[in-house]
Chain A
């Protein structure tokens, strides 16, 4: 299976669920910004959830099926269309060779993930297939996709993918009747992000803490895969002590010297020296990944214990989903 990129859109990179083993060497985690959608796209074609996918930013992208392909997409940045026909997300799609697929902007979000049966054939670099453009490593030649890039799937399909392909294969576009209910994991339209108070939470003035937890903040245009600058009431601190650089992770919310807020995302530095007011609950990072400049978010406090329970619950649900797709479901979906 092969596709050719015709228009890559604003930024399209190949990402898996991250490069975790070189953090101590300053290597960012990277990976899909919205790992819920990337995993759902993979599961829908029978792949391992952590396989590499293409991350598209917004729409205005286009690719062509160079062979018959079995793919799935998920996320809120775009709707896949063939001519004017929209293709449904979160389920396997069979697309015959020669078909042109266009990504039309979806006002709901910003990032869309494309998985192919068998997984995209790119090499692992330092234990991950994720692209980290700054160091020019991973993904497709260490860079964002460009027109005429040819992307191949790994040839060997596992049993699940092969059975899905068998059930949809033909001469026309066909999709499964079943789909994965992504909104059950993360409700659509929710703009409230759960946060856990971070270690320097008590360094900030009471009024600022109230502002932070009650006033909407707007994602500024200075936002990318490293992080988002958020606009809203500025945050004052009364502890003037300097913080020594220490580990930070995606979801860490830092307060910079001028009192503005930065939310760190997938490509963030491994260490930072700004005091941290809060940490976004891991299950809500995908929601942040779908925000775009101009979107407003509200932060709502949650206990660390509850955040951990939500995380473990979601991971268990995804594991169960993978097992269901491997077994029961395949006998009934036709």
Chain B
């Protein structure tokens, strides 16, 4: 099929997403190496954008690149008969340069969580399913090191990989109509943090007072793809202290 146009270079395959976006597919699976590769290439592209470059959307195994087709087609610096060719050839040249880049580690973000009780209504259920105590679940969940794989679903919602396999739990059969912002949930092998009050079907084990999303911050989303995250259990009283205070936006 002539329409199913793709362009393959060493690390990724490029396919068109729409007239104004292409997707770079690095892999078909989730792992930390791929995440790092995507993160590295994303940084490089932002440092060396092409004419008409707008923005990117990193996901588990892909990086989508958005652009203005008019600027791309008019650019004297890009070669090719259409936008897809012009961008593909630019990105593959960039990839060659990437080989010489130094890997910079993203910092680690500590996120306080108040586990169980009214903030984590499913904690006991998750513990029961795995034949553990609630404290064992908290211990496992708060000693692992996570990576942000994807920001999506709602603005600022963070999907995290790296949860201990023993905690993998299916979604709830009936989603809740409202899951409060800050709720920390488990769905299958992933853990994630709700950024807005939305409906949701994840098993909710706790809540953070931090604002995952705040449109008044320079960076509205607290986390970005590639960030390293650790959780720290916090007391109920401390939660109330953070909640509503300005610390909820600045805590690191």
Contacts and interface: CB of A to CB of B under 8 A. Distances in A.
Contact of A244 (B30, B70, B155, B156): B30
B1 A27 contact: no
Contacts of B69: 308, 311-312, 315
Residue from B61, B69, B152, B225 whose CB has the most chain A CB atoms within 10 Å:
B152
Interface string B84-115: 10000000000000000000000000000000
A247 B3 contact: no
Contacts of B58: 24
Interface string A140-183: 00000000000000000000000000000000000000000000
B57 A311 contact: no
Nearest to A244: B60
B4 A247 contact: no
A246 B20 contact: no
Nearest to B62: A246
Given A135-B196, A303-B3, A245 B152 contact: yes
B195 to A, nearest CB: 7
Contact of B19 (A21, A24, A126, A308): A308
A26 B215 contact: no
A281 interface: yes
A246 B61 contact: yes
A24 B225 contact: yes
A22 B60 CA distance: 18
A24 B4 CA distance: 26
Contact of B156 (A23, A26, A202, A282): A26
B229 interface: no
Given A21-B54, A247-B57, A303-B3, A134 B198 contact: yes
A247 B1 contact: no
A197 B19 CA distance: 12
A24 B70 CA distance: 22
Given A197-B3, A199-B15, A282-B18, A135 B154 contact: yes
Given A244-B59, A247-B17, 18 more contacts: A22-B155, A23-B55, A23-B56, A23-B57, A25-B151, A25-B219, A135-B196, A197-B4, A245-B152, A246-B25, A246-B61, A247-B62, A247-B64, A251-B18, A252-B18, A270-B57, A271-B150, A312-B70
19 contacts: A23-B55, A24-B57, A24-B58, A25-B220, A25-B224, A26-B153, A26-B156, A26-B213, A27-B155, A28-B155, A134-B154, A202-B4, A241-B28, A245-B60, A248-B17, A249-B18, A252-B18, A271-B152, A282-B18
